[in-house]
């Protein structure tokens, strides 16, 4: 079985010995296994590794299994409905019901019977795969309907226009009284050819597939950042400023909001960790390429290296790569502020 065909299992367990044993057995059975020692790390792994099934303990530090399940189910990720199996020493009816109410798919009481666990993982991923096949079939049907939504005559009209314009370029009825007529006809001719190509490309199944991404949302950055800052505790909120830009009130972006929330959280948390004198100013602007830039101006006396470590710059870069975005950090020699820039490419910007 190739790596591409392996079932991905995320194991979340705070007891190291149990986690190591479970991961080793599942890997021996041919599963691709990711591991985390608490619910918070488990959710990060869920977002980045895209598992097919989660096997999680309930009682864990930082974030318990119930909290992890709730975050997974409420996320915008297309795998948010993946099979979720609880492992716990708790066997009471109320614990089982609580997991069921949060839409857990199954429940195993410790000590773990690994034969049963493997059987449950296999059964649930097979069933989930069948559901996904039906979903994919429905999506293909929608894409086919989108492709056929335009009247078939539109290409005939465009072909007729381009043929007529091509003929007029040869001045069949005699020279034009001014050469600008010929220039304009040439321009209309080439625009007609480009229009047909644009419509054809827009209706291509792969293009439609990239635009129908269940993980992504369309939203205005001003509203998004307003909400993000409003949700901060008062002590932190006093150290974060968002500069409103009227020009960006109507600019929207299409991106995975959950991942952008993670970027903003990491930057704000990193600035707070830099010390009581540090503060953050956020601005949204565009560049000459019509990209949208989210600029985090970080006021601190520390170095760029200190800032990058504090805000977990490597993780931010990996998030950018997942969305086809760009990240860089630099120092403003005039203000001494450090600027962390999250650049949203033009194809993700909706004006």
Confidence of residue 99 (pLDDT cuts 50, 70, 90): low
Q: What average pLDDT does this structure show over 329-340?
A: 80
Q: How many angstroms separate the CA atoms of 315 and 259, rounded? A: 11
Average pLDDT, the chain: 84
Between 214 and 160, whose confidence is greater? Answer: 160
Between 214 and 347, whose confidence is greater? Answer: 347
Instruction: Please tell me which of 39-53, 194-208, 289-303 the model is most confident about, judged by mean pLDDT.
Output: 39-53
Residue 92 has pLDDT above 80, yes or no: no
Q: How far is CA 133 from CA 2, 4, 50, 287, 339, in A?
A: 20, 17, 17, 42, 45
Residue 81 has pLDDT above 90, yes or no: no
What are the residue boundaries of the structural domains of the chain, listed by start?
A: 3-134, 153-202, 217-350
Between 54 and 335, whose confidence is greater? Answer: 54
SS3 assignment, position 35: strand
pLDDT tens column, 155-165: 888 889 899 99
Quick one: pLDDT at residue 8?
A: 94
User: What CATH number does domain 3-134 carry, 3.20.20.150, 3.40.50.10490, 3.20.20.140, 3.40.50.2300?
Assistant: 3.40.50.2300
Q: Max CA-CA distance within the chain?
A: 94
Residue 154 has pLDDT above 90, yes or no: no
Give the list of residues 6+ apart from residue 37 with CB closer than 8 angstroms, or none. 12, 13, 14, 16, 19, 60
Quick one: pLDDT at residue 247?
A: 62
For the domain covering 217-350, report its CATH number.
3.30.565.10
Helices 65-74 & 93-101 angle (0-180, nearest 10)? 20
pTM of the model: 0.49
Compute CA 54 distance to the chain's CA centroid, rounded to the nearest angstrom: 20
Instruction: Please tell me which of 2-6, 146-150, 238-242 the model is most confident about, judged by mean pLDDT.
Output: 238-242
Q: 71-85, 155-169, 272-286: which range is least confident on average?
A: 71-85
Instruction: Please tell me which of 65-79, 143-157, 302-316 the model is most confident about, judged by mean pLDDT.
Output: 302-316
Residue 1 has pLDDT above 60, yes or no: no
Strands 292-299 vs 338-344: parallel, antiparallel or unpaired: antiparallel
pLDDT tens column, 251-271: 788 888 888 888 999 999 999
Quick one: pLDDT at residue 3?
A: 43
Q: 2-6, 70-74, 94-98, 272-276: which range is least confident on average?
A: 2-6
């Amino acid at each position: 079985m190739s790596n591409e065909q392996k079932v991905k299992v995320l194991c979340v367990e705070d007891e190291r010995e149990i986690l190591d044993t479970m991961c080793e057995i599942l890997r021996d059975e041919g599963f691709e296994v990711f591991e985390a020692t608490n619910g918070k790390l488990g959710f990060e792994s869920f977002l980045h590794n895209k598992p097919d099934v989660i096997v999680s303990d309930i009682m864990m530090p930082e974030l318990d299994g119930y909290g992890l399940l709730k975050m997974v189910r409420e996320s915008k990720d297309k795998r948010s409905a993946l099979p979720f199996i609880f492992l716990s020493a708790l066997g009471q009816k109320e614990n089982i019901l609580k997991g069921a109410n949060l839409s857990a798919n199954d429940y195993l009481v410790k000590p773990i019977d690994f034969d049963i666990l493997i059987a449950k993982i296999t059964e649930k991923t097979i069933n989930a795969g069948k559901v996904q096949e039906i979903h994919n079939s429905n999506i293909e049907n929608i894409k086919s309907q989108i492709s056929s939504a335009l009247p078939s005559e539109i290409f005939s009209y465009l072909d007729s226009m381009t043929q007529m314009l091509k003929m007029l370029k040869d001045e069949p009825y005699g020279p034009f009284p001014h050469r600008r007529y010929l220039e304009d006809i040439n321009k209309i001719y080439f625009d007609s050819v480009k229009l047909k190509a644009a419509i054809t490309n827009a209706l291509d199944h792969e293009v439609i597939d990239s635009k129908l991404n269940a993980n992504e949302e369309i939203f205005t950055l001003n509203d998004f950042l307003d909400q993000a800052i409003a949700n901060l505790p008062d002590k932190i909120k006093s150290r974060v400023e968002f500069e409103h830009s009227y020009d960006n009130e109507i600019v929207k972006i299409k991106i995975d909001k959950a991942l952008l929330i993670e970027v903003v959280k990491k930057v704000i948390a990193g600035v707070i960790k830099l010390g009581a004198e540090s503060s953050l100013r956020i601005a949204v602007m565009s560049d000459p390429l019509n990209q949208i830039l989210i600029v985090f101006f970080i006021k601190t006396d520390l170095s760029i290296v200190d800032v990058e470590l504090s805000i977990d710059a490597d993780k931010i870069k990996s998030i950018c790569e997942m969305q086809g975005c760009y990240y860089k950090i630099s120092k403003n020699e005039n203000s001494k502020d450090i600027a962390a820039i999250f650049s949203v490419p033009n194809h993700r910007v909706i004006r």
